[in-house]
Structure 1
Amino acid sequence: MKLRYSTTSPYARKCWVVAAETGLESRLDFVVTNAWSPETDLPNDNPLGKVPCLITEGGEALFDSPVICEYLDSLHDGQKLFPPVGGARWEQLRLAALADGILDAAVGKRIELTMRPEDKRWSDWTDRQTRAIVRALDVMEEECAGWGRDFLIGQIGAAVALGYLDLRFKAEDWRAAHPNLAKWYAEAAKRPSMVKSEPRE
């Protein structure tokens, strides 16, 4: 299988962590892809022109990260990162969606602040993204004590989202108002899957 990814994409990192946690990492060929390059051939695999994109052993292209992660989880016989049925499944999918929402807001905010000309930036937009991030972190702060030792798709998403905030918005200290979440993340960040997938500029 081939995973087209960027070394700083949090969505791609989530797929990498899932592959490592499920013992599938050795079956992946990691192909660094610059989705922003006008010369990229990425749209040949993903018409949306985004990473991550997984090319399966059968040659099928899968996107985006939620689909890739669940596909990878279907390929192993160990504990499933996506609970198959019942309340546990919906709890994990809800947390995964919350984490993806943090990423969507943070990536949108970064694009606005770094790629748009300064005189055309919309502060109301970036403020809205910041508020969404903080509200999501507040929910995680309240709930993380109940996560226990689980590191399923929801917790993976949360860890990747927090790592992305550290990468792109280090000056905006999310830990101060979220001490329980900070304590949880300090341990999650030590997992081998998180260490080896740490973003590189």
Structure 2
Amino acid sequence: MKIHFSPASPFVRKCMVVAHELGLESRIEKLPSAAGPVNRDRAIVSSNPLGQVPTFFTDEGQVLYDSRVVCEYLNELGGGDLVPREGSLRWLALTEQSLADGILDAALLSRYERALRPSEFRWDAWVDGQMDKIKCALDHFETAMAGARAQAIDIGTLTLACALGYLDFRFADYGWREGRPVLTAWFKEMSERPSIKATVPA
């Protein structure tokens, strides 16, 4: 198996976290990539028209994208239960994955606005709107991680860990922990998992 890899991509990290959880990481070859929203990596585009990471290749040569599809594939391949198969836990895990992915989407859009757009064209209200999405999602998780859900290890909670790690990595001055003691404690404990330690962004 192969994956177009970027050590800074939280969506690639999510896939690698899942691979580590399932004992599959050693079977995945990491391909170099330079994906970007403006200067698109044509090596990736040749396999994925969106030119985004993660782009994943199965041993049979099938190309998979995006991270949700890749993680579902890895979970099935590894015989895991990171994506519950049925019932309310399945819909909870998938919904939380979607919400945590939304944090990442908003964070990436904010970063692109600040880091890539020429200063004379930057739209502060746009960034404010994206950061408000992040705030509202974090407030939701502050409540959600109080109780039994805090002990769950599934695609929802693993994606949330990647999202919080990305905020620490790219938005160190944001201070998401302020006023969120439950989420802070949860992430501190989650960060001790070998899969999380092995995939810290760089």
In which range does the TM-score fall when normalised by the shorter chain? over 0.9
Equivalent residue for 1:123? Answer: 124
More moved, 144-153 vs 80-89: 144-153
**1:40-189 superposed matches below 5 A:** 40-78=42-80, 80-146=81-147, 147-189=149-191
TM-score in terms of structure 1 length: 0.96
Unpaired runs of at least 5, structure 1 = none
Equivalent residue for 2:15? Answer: 15
Q: For 2:180 and 2:193, how far apart are their aligned partners in 1?
A: 21
CA contact (8 A) 1:54 1:63 kept: yes
State the AA in 1 paired with 2:46.
N
TM-score in terms of structure 2 length: 0.96
3-state secondary structure, aligned to 2:145: helix
Q: 1:38 to 1:104 in 2, by over 3 A?
A: closer
CA contact (8 A) 2:107 2:130 kept: yes
Q: For 1:150 and 1:116, how far apart are their aligned partners in 2?
A: 39
Q: 1:132 to 1:39 in 2, by over 3 A?
A: closer
Unpaired runs of at least 5, structure 2 = none
CA contact (8 A) 1:7 1:32 kept: no
Equivalent residue for 2:5? Answer: 5
User: What is the aligned length?
Assistant: 199
CA contact (8 A) 2:97 2:159 kept: yes
CA contact (8 A) 1:18 1:73 kept: yes
Q: For 2:185 and 2:166, how far apart are their aligned partners in 1?
A: 17
Q: For 1:194 and 1:159, how far apart are their aligned partners in 2?
A: 8
Q: For 2:162 and 2:42, how far apart are their aligned partners in 1?
A: 26
**CA offset at residue 38 of structure 1?**
5.1
State the AA in 2 paired with 1:108.
L
**CA offset at residue 2 of structure 1?**
0.1
